[in-house]
Chain A
Amino acid sequence: MFKSIEKILSALKDHKYVADRALATIVYLAQALKKPILLEGEAGVGKTEVAKVIAQALSTKLIRLQCYEGLDMSTSLYEWNYSKQMLGIKMEKTKGSSKKEIENTIFSEKYLLRRPLLEAIQANSPLPRVLLIDEIDRSDEEFEAFLLEVLSDFQITIPEIGTIKAKKRPFVLITSNRTRELHDALKRRCLYHWIEYPTFEKEYEIVMTKIPEIRETLATQICNFMQKIRQRDFHKKPGIAETLDWAQALIALNKDDLDKKTMEQTLGCIFKYNVDISKFKVEFEED
């Protein structure tokens, strides 16, 4: 477990994640209060990345639950392996087992398909796991209510087996892209953090950390450019992921300097929509 906010900052940095003190503070509080963190922010600012890095820093496993519409208990918590059970029944029958024996066999842990949430609850290691619930706004309200239940006690009941309670509460991170409003009850359960687009200094640090071989002048040019772009009104503003992609692309092209031609050739790294590319070409004619 992390011993202080400073330790968190340095641990994250060791794993090549540039965090600001706000994020480190909230991670520390989440650990102390055993509350989940709700991370919101624009696309590509590093929400999912945080979870991965925290897991690495704590030397523990990351359990990831990717949300989508229609996600429910059987796909998030557990499901019985029906086909295996049917075969099992047949086999037991030929052995001549009684109904009770059959039931005991097919409803045992061997026939249980563990989905991420159950994995997180049943984790049997000295270190608590990191549970990432990614893009929860893509799931629906029923799932949120269900999740709330699980998050409050970290205990579930499988009728055929019994109650399973988590020995160690995992460290929970929930991310959202703000495509819809989350339920109040869920928001109240969590510590909230909004990750903004990075400042020039932060983005520069990120680029230098992740791509150490880049020349400083190029990095400066790239970051300056990104800052300007994000101030304009594009359909999908590029995030840090795009910045890094672009930097890698420029290095691969052996460019040390950013000129207009190169920029136009590599626009696809930054903008993912044709409208944005057109808009860029029109607006930045003077650049």
Chain B
Amino acid sequence: MIRHINISKKERLPQTFGGVQKKSILQNILLFCRILKQLKINITTGRVLDLLRSLKYINIAKREDFYYTFRANLISQRNEIPTFDQAFQAFWRLSGEMQSVQEMDRDKNADNNTSLNEHRQRIKETLFLDEWSNEKTKEALDKREVPEFSPVETLATKDFSDFTDKEIERIKDVIVQMIPKIATKKSRRRHLDLKGREFDFRRTLRMNLRYGGEILALARRKRRIKKIKLITLSDVSGSMDCYSKFFIQFIFMLQDKLKGVETFVFSTRLTRITDLLRNRSVNEALTEISRVVLHWSGGTTIGSCLKTFNDEFAPGMLNKRTVVMIISDGWDRDNSNLLEYQMMRLKRNCRKIIWLNPLLGSPGYQPLCRGMKAALPYLSYFLPLNNLSSLMALGKTLNSVL
């Protein structure tokens, strides 16, 4: 999605050029880079310089080469490409003559080469920012989503003081106790440790040089501890309302204390809230979340939300060491085939899936609804989460899993 910006009158270029001078091209390039930067593409001075150097090696009259040179230097991620393309098409609109210009000699001293300047004068380049800036900005403003407060929306409207202070404290304590034990996992990297299990050959040899090659002292090393990733997907639809108090607090603390935690909420749509939870108090975070996350009805579409996760977020953050935790009651409006397929995809790419279902705490509950049933085979752990004791049990599980 392009975030649109207003280009002030001052920055707008003259509509046509008779002949193009080198200086104007440079100005245009810099302007284009500035625009990209405002579109949240990571442009640095080094890159712009490299771009300018690159342009000397290609025939800038050839639009294809021109385009790819820009792209190679300024882009570093696949998902930046659509934004870049749109901006490029709009900005560098060239007239037909460009295509028929003959090949330029590739000359490193192009700046001083008079024939090159002549060539450039022969090129009729029409550069203009079209209605692009004004029209599309208007479009974007119209489309911008305004959060609505529906009666079903529960997070912000429910008074958080319902949570008594004592309750909050108890929960916090439990969580804080749980956390250090979680997320310490050994990686393959090694560092020096006197009591480690492996021998560190390099150090051993050096230490023993003075003994003339006999090994008298042994240096050991052990595997370094590396933090593991946890991804939380929480159902915040109407049906989960009563339990949100517990797990929102829980997730908030989890993300706060642990490194490598990503948090999402979903009802009919999936939203990443990791950044919203940072550097805020719980109340502030909740307000932010309800401002950004939209609920249209009380229902949930777990399947399509999982699909969104698998398609958009999983490639960047899921690996075989990640543990995924889903908090939901399993009531799904989508068809269960979709949910099942997405669960399968998810399971293949991560280490374990934990499903926390508050309904499990009620006696006599059986996972009969289609959504829950479809997901069951893919779960490593299926646990309740409706009170403190279930929270503590969860802690123990996370300990063993992470």
Contact = CB atoms under 8 A, between A and B. Distances in A.
Given A38-B76, A72-B189, A82-B201, A103 B209 contact: yes
B139 interface: no
Interface residues of A, number: 44
Contacts of B317: 180-181
A90 B209 CA distance: 11
26 contacts: A22-B71, A25-B65, A25-B72, A26-B68, A26-B72, A29-B73, A32-B53, A33-B50, A38-B76, A69-B188, A70-B189, A86-B213, A89-B213, A99-B209, A99-B210, A140-B187, A140-B189, A178-B316, A179-B315, A180-B319, A187-B77, A188-B46, A188-B76, A191-B73, A192-B72, A194-B81
A192 B76 contact: yes
A82 B199 CA distance: 12
Contact of A80 (B42, B46, B202, B210): B202
Interface of B: 42, 44, 46-47, 50, 53-54, 57-58, 64-65, 68-69, 71-73, 75-78, 81, 106, 187-189, 201-202, 205, 209-210, 212-213, 315-319, 341, 344-345, 348
A interface, by DSSP: helix, strand, loop or mixed?
Answer: helix
Given A29-B69, A178-B316, A188-B44, A21 B76 contact: no
Contacts of A28: 57-58
Interface of A: 4-5, 21-22, 25-26, 28-29, 32-33, 35, 38, 40, 69-70, 72, 74, 80, 82, 85-86, 89-90, 93, 99, 102-103, 140, 142, 178-181, 184, 187-188, 190-194, 235, 275, 279
Given A90-B213, A140-B189, A188-B44, A29 B57 contact: yes
B189 A188 contact: no
A22 B209 contact: no
Q: 9 closest pairs, A vs B, by CB?
A: A70-B188, A89-B213, A187-B76, A191-B72, A25-B68, A32-B57, A26-B72, A82-B201, A22-B68
Contacts of A187: 76-77
B72 A193 contact: yes
A80 B201 CA distance: 9
A28 B64 CA distance: 14
